[in-house]
Amino acid sequence: MHQRMKPLISLFGLALLSLGACSSSKHAARNGLGGQGGSFAGGAGVAASGTPDAGINAAASGAGGSLGTAGTLGAAGVGGIDAGGTGAAGAAGAAGQGGAGGAGGTGTDAGAAGTADSGTRMLKKFVGNITTQGQVRSDFDMYWDQITPENEGKWGSVEGTRNQMNWSGLDRVHDYAVAHGIVFKQHNFVWGAQQPGWLAGLSAADQKAEVEEWIRLFCERYPDVALIDVVNEPPPHTMPVYMNALGGAGASGYDWIVQAFKWSRQYCPHAILILNDYNNIEYGNDNSHFIDIVTKIKNAGAPIDAIGAQAHAAHSIADSTVKGYLDKLAATGLPIYITEYDIDLASDSAQQQVMQSQMTMFWNDNDIKGITLWGYIVGATWQTNSGLMTSTSTKRPAMSWLMTFLGR
């Protein structure tokens, strides 16, 4: 079910050094780490010989080092959509890992502090959305504090012709996120759809080299990316033509996925790396199979940081069932992101009822670290009836309720 092709972080201190222009050269790197809105835990100092990594992580260096002198969290790491206070910086554990922040705020503004793992980012809980037909609407940051490119980040959109990179779409999304202080997520690196057609004619060695290069070039251009769907819709849902070139099944059964995650950690060391899929919080067989993949790739050394649940069909499933499958995913020990949520219901009252029930459940679930809705403009969403607001800003009741709930 839902087999388909969809239509084609503040960082402390640093200003954007150089946004750079769209380049047709594969090797034109994007320099400038942007000040992305309140998404990292930062310390007021660093311990031992540790140094801040270009404002990304003020992490302690050396085993058991502590974070400077009582560093405090800024907007990031504290709870909620609107940070409601600061939490004292915790002690660092292993080298490169920052302390966890305290929760702040009250009521619906209170959210769990983000978690850090091996130098990855610490994010406050967000409710975000995607681009609209290839563009970022000027009103986006009025409603959402995280952005995902719907199609602009897919490899086929960037490198339709071999060695000719079109970064313009991704640049728009990234630059908007930096300018407005919201979280930038990449969707996606490896998928069995919307990949460059020219890959099919290459040797296995060339396919492997091209996949690695695609990941490296993205990470060089957008080193401040917060989250990445590394592999999207793994088998049996989709299978990339270059799967065997990356190691095929191998000893783990999913060595090709392990390889994709290792490259992603190598080239985007601070991003939260996600395995993303659909139906994994809706149906038992999909939930069990997804957990099996996660377990096997973790055991094989994949640096996976989080689970992505698209949740396209969740609106049609009982809340108790969805919650049960969420709990099973959480038992893997990984945080969960709802990555592509939509409510495909024509009835305003029915859509609002589901929005109120499920979004409250998602927001109050401490295992869920962020929620991304898949479109919001009526007539410009993947699902026919999932729009939440007209292009002239008339809100459907579900959108009005959500904005009130989030205090936006």
**Residue range 342-351, pLDDT digits in tens:** 999 999 999 9
| Eight-state DSSP code of residue 283 | -
pLDDT in tens, 72-90: 333 333 333 333 333 333 3
Q: 9 falls in which pLDDT band (50, 70, 90)?
A: very low
Q: Please, which pLDDT band fits residue 121 given cuts at 50, 70 and 90?
A: low
Could you give all domains of the chain from N- to C-terminal order, each with its CATH number?
9-18+36-109 (no CATH), 126-406 (3.20.20.80)
Single out the catalytic residue among 150, 152, 210, 340: 340
pLDDT value at residue 122: 78
Look up 340 and say whether it is catalytic.
Answer: yes
The active-site residue, picked from 150, 152, 210, 233, is 233
Q: Which two tokens stand for residue 281?
A: 């919080």
Residue 352 and residue 282: Cα distance in Å, rounded? 20
Mean pLDDT of 46-70: 32
Looking at residue 182, the DSSP 8-state letter turns out to be: -
Least confident of 5-19, 292-306, 308-322: 5-19
Q: Which residue has the tokens 């940081």?
A: 305
Segment 16-23 mean pLDDT: 34
- The angle at the Cα of 189, spanning 183 to 192, to the nearest 5 degrees, equals 130
pLDDT of residue 120: 61
Of 62, 58, 79, the residue nearest 14 (C-alpha): 58
Those residues whose C-beta lies under 8 Å from the C-beta of residue 208, and which sit 6 or more positions away, are: 242, 245, 246
Q: What percent of the chain has pLDDT over 70?
A: 70
* 210 is annotated as an active-site residue: no
Q: Does residue 40 surpass a pLDDT of 70?
A: no
Confidence of residue 382 (pLDDT cuts 50, 70, 90): very high
What is the arithmetic mean of pLDDT over 138-163?
A: 97
